[in-house]
Amino acid sequence: MNTAATTNNVATERSAKRSRASTQPGAEAVRVKGRLRANKWLLLRRISQFGILALFLVGPWFGWWIVKGNLSSSLTLGVLPLTDPYLLLQSFSAGQLPYQEALLGGGIVLAFYLLFGGRLFCSWVCPVNLVTDAAAWLRRRLNIKGGKTPSAYTRYWLLAFTLGASALTGSLAWEWVNPVSMLHRGLIFGFGLAWGVVLAVFLYDLLFASRGWCGHVCPVGAFYGLLGSGALIRVTADKRRACDDCMDCFNVCPEPQVIRPALKAVGQDHPLILDKDCTSCGRCIDVCGKDVFRLTTRFDRSES
């Protein structure tokens, strides 16, 4: 009876530890590496996200017009045009050929993400990432489980359907509801009811689908994912032999399915995460107490 109680205790302790680990991944990393290094990429990412937002906002707020416009299309310092290529694609589908400025701007953005990694947009630029990261954090904190997460293929279908709908309706179909552009435009030009759309995304991720929006629905992310499928910057699990299966990386990763092939050598030999869904957010690098991961290029297949 005594032994039974002890094993029971141990079991509850273990499960408690596991649930704590899943609600607060990275606790070990904080202990080993210190709070700053255990949040290095997260901090850099937030600086990038807020920095880009600030560049757009200092114009309307203080009259320093470094960047005009929004993520859909912008003009930096009066010379550099940048345009969202997915928007241009919708415009093409709807039967428009935009002016050279928009095409040039789209080309620059296209080239950047082709080269460096499409979903860098998702984790380092997109304002909705802040919303869905918050939802994911709260979901872990409140230990909300379950829900119905749609298939990860939904986003690709939706990407195709939005282009089809653009062609059919002759308008930029996804822009009627796109939370990405709505949030960014709202922050810069003022919100109407768009708060509701953003809130809906937050609640959807929090209550219905873990990492549901960015990882399964958003066609913008799907587009950038396809764009960056051959891109340079990749995460590698080169010290995967040090992995102690704490699952912290799986818990924080917005696209956890991309880790397994590299970390556990399932379906591939090298430790490089080549999946196009990987957003290169670097959160796995942060939370790993064993320093398994690091950022590298797609040509670096070394293992240590």
CA atoms within 13 A on the CB side of 65: 8
The CA distance from 215 to 151, in Å, is 9
Contact call for residues 122 and 129 (beta carbons, < 8 A): yes
The correct pick among 105, 118, 215, 254 for binding another protein (CB under 8 A) is 105
The correct pick among 126, 217, 231, 263 for binding another protein (CB under 8 A) is 217
Candidates 223, 40, 23, 289; CA nearest to 141 is 23
Determine the residue type at 143. Answer: N
The tokens of 110 are what? 């296209």
| Residues in 83-102 at the binding interface with another protein, rule: CB under 8 A | 83-84, 87-88, 91, 94-99, 101-102
C-beta of 156 vs 250, nearer to another protein = 156
The CA distance from 162 to 218, in Å, is 11
The correct pick among 70, 123, 251, 296 for binding another protein (CB under 8 A) is 70
Give least dist CB 68 to another protein, A: 5
| Residues in 161-190 at the binding interface with another protein, rule: CB under 8 A | 161-162, 164-166, 168-177, 181-182, 185-186, 188-190
| Residues in 127-166 at the binding interface with another protein, rule: CB under 8 A | 150-158, 160-162, 164-166
Give least dist CB 281 to another protein, A: 24
In this structure, the strands spanning 294-297 and 233-236 are antiparallel
Using DSSP's 3-state secondary structure scheme, residue 235 falls into strand
The CA distance from 15 to 24, in Å, is 14
The tokens of 268 are what? 């591939």
Using DSSP's 3-state secondary structure scheme, residue 236 falls into strand
Applying CB under 8 A, does 34 fall inside the site for another protein? no
Binding mask 233-272 for another protein (x = CB under 8 A): ----------------------------------------
The CA distance from 83 to 159, in Å, is 18
Give least dist CB 112 to another protein, A: 17
Give least dist CB 142 to another protein, A: 26
Q: Which stretch binds another protein (CB under 8 A): 28-36, 73-81, 119-127, 253-261?
A: 73-81
Look at the alpha carbons of 190, 193, 197, 200 in this order and tell me if their dihedral is positive or negative. Answer: positive
- Footprint of another protein (CB under 8 A): 59, 65, 68-70, 72-75, 81, 83-84, 87-88, 91, 94-99, 101-102, 105, 150-158, 160-162, 164-166, 168-177, 181-182, 185-186, 188-194, 196-197, 217
